[in-house]
Amino acid sequence: MIRLYRVSKEYAGVGALIDVSVHVTKGEFCYISGPSGAGKSTLLKLLYGAIKPTRGKLLINNIDMGPAKDRDIAHLRRHMGVVFQDFKLIPRRTVAENVGLALEVLGTPREVIGRRVAAVLSIVGLRGRGDELPLSLSGGEQQRVAVARAIVNDPAVILADEPTGNLDGAMAIEVMEVLQAVNLRGTTVMVATHDAGLMQRFPYRTLRFRAGRLEAS
Amino acid sequence: MSHSAHVLRRAARSIWENLYLHSVSVGVIASALLLVGVFLSVQFNLNRMVTDWTRDVHVSAYFLPDVPEQRRFAIRERLAKDPRVAKVVYVSEEEAQDWLIARVEGVSTALAELGPGVLPASVEITLVDGAVAAPNSFVDLLPADEFSDVDMGQDWVARFNEFLRTLQLLGALLGVIITATALFVVSNTVNLVIYSRRDEVEIEKLVGASTSFIIAPFLIEGAIQGVAGGVLAVGGLWSVHAVLVHRLQNSIQIGVANEMVFLPPTWIGLLVAAGLVLGLGASTLSVTRFLSRAA
């Protein structure tokens, strides 16, 4: 599913990720942990194609992300869900429209989008909230909208960058439960977090980073 | 099909959400095309008039005063038989004087003081279409010992054509300046629209939208703005034309106002197409610049 062979990423000669080799199998749930500046976000950016490795080889579904062109990355992202700490929702669009965007880019007919969005909003506990605007929701609800958008197209992999970072304890657990449920349906989930409590409550394999190096896997 | 529907919906929505900015773009395109249209219209009508005048070119040959009337009639007959001549009219001194008195108010007193024979008798020769191009070839029919002056009637048309060529050059220059200015203003207003939707574009890229999916709504918006600007310009041009013809008809008693015509459908189509190209060009410029910066 995801393979890194001695991957490094440098910014202006400074190593943000150094010589990392990892293999994440299909359907696995794993954490990417470490203190600030450890390289968690850099790894996620490499995985969703926002940046390219300086050295090494990164394969996702056998696609080499190094030489991959923009259209290859766009194609890959259609089978990938990404969740951010700051939600990244479009404030002018309703909850349903935000979630449906991931299906719009696939050219899914409007009626199908309506049905799928309603089903996914039910899964994340937001049934009947589709017509509301994101800013009228709480932080936890907004993050659940972001998760709904990430899972609405049945992606093979979900990448979450500190998805619970802006949420209080109860809301963080709600979001983790949704991600866990998605993983149980066979989706690979990778969560970047430094929340030790969360990792204890939902124990999975942890890729531990420090100063850009993989310490433990 | 579904992709197109999504794209069209997003374009319509963006126009609605950024109505003010889109109106500014449409206004700029319409103003630019209106200026170009007015210029084209003036040029089109002048060209048309010159073509008509060129077709009507006739030669005026003024008799020397000592040529007897019988000889003048003989010359008229000889000219009428020439295959290059469509029509010959003999104008006597008296007829020339009457013609001038009828057209120039107050000249009769001056003419009376000067006495008879002030204006020479002449023959007005209208040429057949094929001969218009070379009226100078008539010199052999108009011997210098019988005519004081021969007006080939083409010199001023040539000068006017020269003026039209200068006007065309100025028009092209003006067109380039106006188009570049409009392109600059419109692409900057499109920039504002893109800037207001940059978060949306970023999220679209994150969920795997293709470049065409991202830029298509902007291009559609540009095309709609361009066509709307073009149609508005044509409407404005029609109003300017109507007002101008009305004013000219009321203020001067010459046939120019009646001869003025509105631009033909092909030119109107080209003006609207220019709007489309302008809107589309400005959008393409802005969106590609934005995406290359965002990459």
Would the ipTM clear 0.90, i.e. be above it?
Answer: no
User: Directed axis angle between helix A139-151 and helix A169-184, to 10°?
Assistant: 10
Nearest CA in chain B to A80: B207
- Give me the domain span that covers residue A112: 2-216
Query: For B63-86, how does the pLDDT look when each residue is reduced to its tens digit (9 = 90+)?
Result: 888 888 888 888 888 888 888 888
Residue A199, domain CATH: 3.40.50.300
Are B272 and B266 in contact by the 8 Å Cβ rule? The answer is: no
Are A204 and A24 in contact by the 8 Å Cβ rule? The answer is: no
Read out DSSP for A92-117?
A: TS-HHHHHHHHHHTTT--HHHHHHHH
Query: For A45-69, how does the pLDDT look when each residue is reduced to its tens digit (9 = 90+)?
Result: 999 999 999 999 999 988 899 889 8
B57: helix, strand or coil = coil
Cα A160 from Cα A177, distance rounded (Å)? 13
Contact between A70 and B17 using a beta-carbon 8 Å cutoff: no
Total beta-carbon pairs less than 8 A apart between chain A and chain B = 56
Nearest CA in chain B to A110: B2
Are A199 and A206 in contact by the 8 Å Cβ rule? The answer is: yes
Preferred mutation among A44, A104, A108, A135 to probe B, highest tally of B CBs within 10 A: A104
Over residues B85-110, the mean pLDDT reads 82
- The one-letter amino acid code at A1 reads M
Query: For B103-160, how does the pLDDT look when each residue is reduced to its tens digit (9 = 90+)?
Result: 777 777 777 777 777 788 898 888 776 665 565 666 677 777 888 888 776 666 677 7
Over residues B39-52, the mean pLDDT reads 80
Contact between B208 and A110 using a beta-carbon 8 Å cutoff: no
| Beta bridge partner(s), residue A157 | A80, A188
Distance from CA of A213 to the nearest CA of B (A): 26
Tokens of B54: 């060129």
- What per-residue confidence (pLDDT) applies to A150? 94
- What per-residue confidence (pLDDT) applies to B175? 82
For B221, the enclosing helix (H) or strand (E) is helix B211-251
Are A10 and A170 in contact by the 8 Å Cβ rule? The answer is: no
State how many domains chain A has.
1
A107: pLDDT confidence band, cut at 50, 70 and 90? Answer: confident
Q: Which domains does chain B have, with CATH numbers?
A: 2-53+158-294 (no CATH), 58-152 (3.30.70.3040)
Angle at B171 between CA B166 and CA B174, to 5 degrees: 125
Over residues A27-36, the mean pLDDT reads 92
Tokens of B218: 């902007």
Contact between B5 and A74 using a beta-carbon 8 Å cutoff: no
Binning chain B into helix, strand and coil, the percentages to the nearest 5 are 75, 10, 15
Tokens of A155: 């992606």
User: Directed axis angle between helix A70-77 and helix B198-206, to 10°?
Assistant: 80
